[in-house]
Structure 1
Amino acid sequence: MATRRTFLKPGLAALAWPWLPRAAHAGAQVEEPLADAVRTALTSAIASSAPPVLVFADTEARLAYLRWLGAMSHKLKARKSDWDERREFLQTVWYESRRAGLDTGLVLGLIQVESAFRKFAVSPAGARGYMQVMPFWTRLIGNGDPSSLFHMQTNLRFGCVILRHYLDREAGDLYLALGRYNGSRGRPAYPNAVFRSAKHWEWTDRPEGPAS
């Protein structure tokens, strides 16, 4: 039986490291009728295109973020060699995942599986960008322009909002939500691939203590 796993941030809802083959598990979200209330909520959730502004409760929270950024940057360097591009990407993933109430490591694992961190990836089904979002979503809840899915923040915003939507539909069952995201609900290959990849992006903060 497939294991159900939950990667939610408290208060917001609340193996080895192989680089997977290019678009190894990229699938396709399935277009389904949306209730008017759901369509309105999703449209509102993706509406703002302003750059992510990180807000921290205190200095320690900001330092914790910077430690996370340093650790993730080191892991991502092989795929994104330019520091400024890497920093902007990670900052946006951090912002959009938390905005949607998702675990940031899970989102990075999903991106690894879906696109291998390629901004302009296109699947055989036509899914686009880092999180392999299907173009029909721009018609349902966006501006109707599929090319906007190659814009980094737009793609990450859509991907996180859609995964949050599927997670809500599945009453918090991440295994089934990931299956919906990939168009393979009930089959284990894709959720398990994301879970394996997410392990590489897990992070536990270990602030440095005072010098002895």
Structure 2
Amino acid sequence: MISRRSCLRAAAGAGLLPLLSSAHAGRQLEEPLADSVRSALSSAIANAAPPMLEFASTEARLAHLRWLQAMSVRLARRMPDFNERKEFLQTLWYESRRAGLDAGLVLGLVQVESAFRKFAVSIAGARGYMQVMPFWTRVIGNGDPGTLFHMQTNLRFGCVILRHYIDREAGDLFLALGRYNGSRGKPQYPNAVFAASRHWAWRDDRN
């Protein structure tokens, strides 16, 4: 069996260590899915058209812009390029809402999983911002794990998978996060995500 230390030495020799060491090494486990669940997840992943932000009112749109400004300031050190940062935040907000998730929670998960590195790869092979395991592209996607390095695709998969785990755990976020990481029932990972999420919590003081 190849040890973790041997893997790290090999990665260092190949120039990959910065990517590997920055990823949390999430390990979603491949589990049997009922056909109905597989179909629902496949449908949720489909239609990767660019995010089209829609708002119920002008005030809702203004509230979103205030959120975007606040998050952009917080993220600037980790993602210096303004256009990249704006696209990332807009896409994450869209995909979070589409999956019925809190954007602050998803930002916390991205921070823990990849430290906001688009091309992060874990020792287990998980990829991208939300460290999605490649088997998911075979189970509910187009079978090409390379697409997990595409911003919207990665965020779409990550949010849909997390929503699936939350539903599977009857709304228990602690257990769902553990399942996302492959460490169900252990406190380290959920606690790390909860702690990181507090940095991204936002309350619109104008409401």
Normalised to the residue count of structure 1, the TM-score between the two structures is 0.87
Q: Distance in 1 between matches of 2:26 and 2:76?
A: 26
Per the alignment, residue 184 of structure 1 pairs with 183
State the 1:30 CA deviation. 0.2
Amino acid of the structure 2 residue aligned with 1:22: S
Contiguous gaps of at least 5 residues in structure 2? 1-20
Higher RCO, 1 or 2 (CA under 8 Å, sep at least 6)?
1
Q: Distance in 2 between matches of 1:137 and 1:189?
A: 24
State the 1:22 CA deviation. 2.4
Per the alignment, residue 17 of structure 1 pairs with none
Kindly, what percent of the aligned residue pairs are identical?
77
Per the alignment, residue 78 of structure 2 pairs with 79
Amino acid of the structure 2 residue aligned with 1:85: E
Q: Distance in 1 between matches of 2:57 and 2:100?
A: 20
Q: Distance in 2 between matches of 1:164 and 1:68?
A: 22
Amino acid of the structure 1 residue aligned with 2:102: D
Q: Distance in 1 between matches of 2:160 and 2:26?
A: 17
Q: Deviations over 1:79-137 (max 9, x none)?
A: 11111110000000000001000010000000000000000000000000000000000
Q: Distance in 2 between matches of 1:155 and 1:82?
A: 20
Per the alignment, residue 91 of structure 2 pairs with 92
Q: Distance in 2 between matches of 1:124 and 1:188?
A: 21
Per the alignment, residue 122 of structure 1 pairs with 121
Per the alignment, residue 14 of structure 2 pairs with none
Runs of 4 or more, structure 1, over 2 Å off, are: none
Q: Distance in 1 between matches of 2:133 and 2:115?
A: 17
Check the 8 A contact 1:26/1:113 in 2, yes or no: no
Q: Distance in 1 between matches of 2:192 and 2:41?
A: 27
Contiguous gaps of at least 5 residues in structure 1? 1-20
How many residue pairs get matched?
187
> What secondary structure sits across from 2:43 in the alignment?
helix
Q: Distance in 1 between matches of 2:88 and 2:55?
A: 19
Q: Distance in 1 between matches of 2:143 and 2:125?
A: 15
> What secondary structure sits across from 2:22 in the alignment?
coil
1:1-212 paired onto structure 2 within 5 Å? 22-23=22-23, 25-207=24-206
